[in-house]
Amino acid sequence: MKMNFLRKSLIAISLTSVFSYGVYSYGCADGWWGNDFNSMFAPETFVDKSYKPMFYDSYNFFYDYNPLQDYTSKFSDDIVADWSNYIGKSEPKEAVAYYLLNDTAAQYIPKLINKQSISGAKYGLNLKNKEAKNFLEFLQIAKKVEKYSTSQYYYWNYENRNQEKVDAKVIATIEDYFNNLGNKDEFYKNRIWFQLMKAKFYSNNVNDAVSFFEATKKNQSKNLLYYRALGYVAGAYYQKKDYDKSNVLFAEIFDEVPQLRQEALYNFRPVDEAAFLKQVESVPSKEVKAAMWAIYGYYADEFKAMQEIYKIDSKSEHINFLLTRWVNIQESSINVYQEKAISNPGNYHKEVAKAINQKQFKWISEVASKPDLLQNPELWFFATGYLNIFQGNFKVAEKQFDQAKIYIKAGDELAKNQIRLMQLINKVSQVKTISMKEEATLIEDLNWLLYEVPENIKYDNPFRFNYATNWVKKYLSSVYKNQGNQVMAELLNSNKVFYDSENNGQAMEEFFLKKNKTAWEELFVGLYPYNISDIYECRAINLYYAGKLEESIAMFEKIYPIKLRQYNYETDSYSYDFVDYNKRELYGNPFNGKIKDCNDCDHQAKQSVKYSSLDMLRKMKELKTNIEVGNDVYNNALLLANAYYNTSYYGNARSFYYNSIFGETGSNYISKENQYKLFDLSQAKKYYEIAFQAASDNEQRAKISYMLAKVERNEFYFNEYFSQSTYWGYNYDQVMVKKWDGFKRLKQDYSDTKYYQELIKECGYFRTYLGMQK
């Protein structure tokens, strides 16, 4: 039986040692939305920060794109602080840091030892006490070892992977010095011991590092240097593929040194189930056994690991981060970002309850019921309370949140916010209808979540409220929808098809213009992403594509200037300015109809008359009236047909339908909801045919025949390609040119016209068609 340790695809775990890094895989960085895109449960709330890299992350190997820190700099602050405290005030801390961390400082050390003057150094050393002199002697040794221990290579460089090894003579010199330290103080001896340990590890004989550690470890304090040295021992065993020993040592480091947990876990070698259990049994310490299971839980099975740790030591803190991972995994099957609107809030919790592993949740609930046996009972109460919401056990959840509160430390704002959020989710989950009673119960907490939290929570705060905010709005929206209150349902969860119904648009307009809104209504109006002019414009666009030209004009005329926050590129700042949508000009002349559909060309062409959307519609109404009364029917019908063509997906006036609610901004992709509007050329076809009937000569008829051929071509493209959900762009083997009726008519009836010759020059499709006739 194999243990699935590689669920996250750890690549080539340790290359040389615990401190010599290999490569690990980050997941799908493209499209990553953050950890709260489908989560309300922040593990940072209850678990020590040393476990942070191991929190659940659906995209990255380490949580929140938390890379292994470069070991040449990870402990810089600790090293400087230790030496500065040791030396005392005789040497400035900045000088201590300079000589410890700056590579160029190495050249000055021999001169300082020989009491020679130095020039070019940023700092000197006073060397007034023995500790400072010890520091100088230490530097001489450390800089020799450093050039071997900090050398780097890149994993993709297959031709230069050999790491330079410490020369045996250098090791012998350091070892001789260490053996003759005599009455030197313990701090200094410990630092020289670590340098010797490091030198032996980076030599050609790593076994010497192991034997040296075993012979001298009893004389060393179990400080950070001790466990870093133990990491070298583990790395030596790892190099020899003695994973029984290396894994146990990495687990010990994981347990004892929070600073090294990420590295220890990273270097833990996956083995099969039998070998792993044997390794666990070989460990006398319950703490290290628990650590081994914790690492197992990270790579393979959180739940099994929790059960085993609970048997070994129920108060082990390692069990806590595993619980957060389990909860985050469970909720990921419930919380689906941009989920469909909740159709029936009454059945919602019954449906999602099935997504939670009931057998495992039962065990976790039983553990939580015995808080005296746990190191972190507030986490367990909170976790079970959270998931009980989605079991429909609302009273149980509330009780567990109250129990969790008992353990929260004063001043822990993250924990307080997390519990308040879950209590709100629990309250909302119990709402079946919304009346003044429910409004009074929820309004204070909703105001906090919807307004205060976004204003006060900074981007680096781990509090997860984004998905919760969306969930609350969608849930309440579904309640309103079931009550028949479409306006409030739309305010809470906007859907652009809402405005396809003019009755809905009228109802929303009346609501916006209502003077005596309640505090509850104002709460959601303030969150609605659209203003009254957005609504008027969207309704006007929908009326236009519904063939209601006069009504569309009337709706556009309702638009008035709105104060909007806009970015000023000249001042590199935001400002609030009044914006009148009816002043925005279309990029091209919508009444032009050319041989080539080149929108960019039309946009760049000189335009004697510029049109806004409203100007265009008024002109179209004028043209339509002229046609109806029989005034210059050919030209008026041609111009009107061109306008309808250019306000489609294919034309130069696409910006007519740019609207935040309508949801189109000029992309080549048109949403399914809008395809029947923007690909529809029936109005253009209607007026081209009227123009054809009114044409007075063959030049006019030739032009209209070509315009109708373009309509026929585009209708073919839509039906054959654009309307298909699998269409992602033109393929060379797809049919792009056919024997359009308009092309046939041109060749058959109008080949003697000047327009026909212009087509041959400008239209490659037409030339292709003519080639098809040979």
Question: For 633-676, how does the pLDDT look when each residue is reduced to its tens digit (9 = 90+)?
Answer: 999 999 999 999 999 999 999 999 999 999 998 888 899 999 99
Residue-level pLDDT at 17 = 38
Residues in the chain: 774
Tokens of 177: 């010095």
Find out whether 87 and 135 touch, Cβ atoms under 8 Å.
Answer: yes
Range of the domain at 376: 338-483
- The Cβ-side half-sphere exposure at 766, using a 13 Å CA radius, reads 25
Residue-level pLDDT at 35 = 77
Q: How far is CA 435 from CA 439, 479, 480, in A?
A: 6, 11, 10
Residue-level pLDDT at 732 = 52
CA distance 565 to 605: 31
Q: How far is CA 563 from CA 541, 657, 767, in A?
A: 22, 21, 52
Please enumerate in sequence order all residues whose Cβ is within 8 A of that of 648, keeping only pairs 6 or more positions apart, or say none: 678, 679, 680, 681, 684, 714
Please enumerate in sequence order all residues whose Cβ is within 8 A of that of 400, keeping only pairs 6 or more positions apart, or say none: 368, 381, 382, 384, 385, 388
Helix (H) or strand (E) holding 622: helix 613-628
Residue 416 lies in a domain: yes
**Residue 130 above 60 pLDDT?**
yes
Measured CA angle at 107 (ends 105, 110), to 5 deg: 115
Residue-level pLDDT at 651 = 95
Q: Give the mean pLDDT of 337-362.
A: 82
Residue-level pLDDT at 726 = 64
Residue-level pLDDT at 636 = 98
Residue-level pLDDT at 158 = 33
Per-residue pLDDT band for 573 (boundaries 50, 70, 90) equals confident
Beta strands, E only, 521-651 = 562-568, 573-579
CA distance 147 to 142: 9
Category of 11 on φ-ψ map: left (φ > 0), alpha (ψ -120 to 50) or beta: beta
What whole-number percentage of the chain has pLDDT above 70?
A: 91
SS (H, E, C) 329-349: HHHHCCCCCCCCCCCCHHHHH
Residue 474 lies in a domain: yes
Residue 400 lies in a domain: yes
CA distance 371 to 373: 5
Least confident span in 6-15, 35-44, 172-181, 370-379: 6-15
Residue-level pLDDT at 393 = 97
Strand partners for 658: 664
Residue-level pLDDT at 340 = 58
Residue 622 lies in a domain: no
Find out whether 545 and 677 touch, Cβ atoms under 8 Å.
Answer: yes
Residue 538 lies in a domain: no
Q: Taking the C-alpha atoms of 692, 694, 697 and 700 in order, what is their torsion angle to the nearest 10 degrees?
A: -40
More confident residue, 394 or 3: 394
Find out whether 247 and 269 touch, Cβ atoms under 8 Å.
Answer: yes
Residue-level pLDDT at 153 = 46
* Domain total of the chain: 1
Query: 681 exposed, middle or buried (CB, 10 Å; 0-12, 13-18, 19+)?
Result: buried
Residue 745 lies in a domain: no
Q: Is the pTM of this model over 0.95?
A: no
Per-residue pLDDT band for 152 (boundaries 50, 70, 90) equals low
Helix (H) or strand (E) holding 219: none
CA distance 654 to 59: 38
Tokens of 288: 């290290």
CB neighbours (10 Å) of residue 210?
A: 21
CA distance 379 to 419: 11
Find out whether 133 and 115 touch, Cβ atoms under 8 Å.
Answer: no
Residue-level pLDDT at 736 = 66
- The DSSP output letter for 720 is I
Strand partners for 659: 664
Residue 399 lies in a domain: yes
Strand partners for 575: 566
Percent helix / strand / coil, the chain, rounded to 5 = 60, 5, 35
Q: Which tens digit of pLDDT belongs to each residue from 232-244?
A: 999 999 999 999 9
CA distance 419 to 423: 6
Strand partners for 577: 564
More confident residue, 439 or 58: 439
Residue 367 lies in a domain: yes
**Residue 731 above 70 pLDDT?**
no
Per-residue pLDDT band for 727 (boundaries 50, 70, 90) equals low
Find out whether 742 and 575 touch, Cβ atoms under 8 Å.
Answer: no
Q: Taking the C-alpha atoms of 439, 440, 445 and 447 in order, what is their torsion angle to the nearest 10 degrees?
A: 70
Tokens of 457: 């929570």
Strand partners for 568: 573
More confident residue, 725 or 389: 389
Q: Which tens digit of pLDDT belongs to each residue from 176-205?
A: 999 999 999 999 999 999 999 999 999 999
Find out whether 390 and 405 touch, Cβ atoms under 8 Å.
Answer: no
Residue-level pLDDT at 13 = 36
What whole-number percentage of the chain has pLDDT above 90?
A: 75
**Residue 538 above 70 pLDDT?**
yes
**Residue 597 above 70 pLDDT?**
yes
Category of 530 on φ-ψ map: left (φ > 0), alpha (ψ -120 to 50) or beta: beta
Category of 700 on φ-ψ map: left (φ > 0), alpha (ψ -120 to 50) or beta: alpha
Least confident span in 64-73, 421-430, 484-493: 64-73
CA distance 544 to 538: 10
CB neighbours (10 Å) of residue 141?
A: 19
Tokens of 278: 């044997």
Residue-level pLDDT at 26 = 34
More confident residue, 518 or 124: 518
Least confident span in 361-365, 726-730, 754-758: 726-730
**Residue 108 above 70 pLDDT?**
yes
- Tokens 């005329």 belong to 557
Q: Give the mean pLDDT of 525-553.
A: 97
More confident residue, 728 or 638: 638
More confident residue, 230 or 458: 230
3 state SS of 98: helix
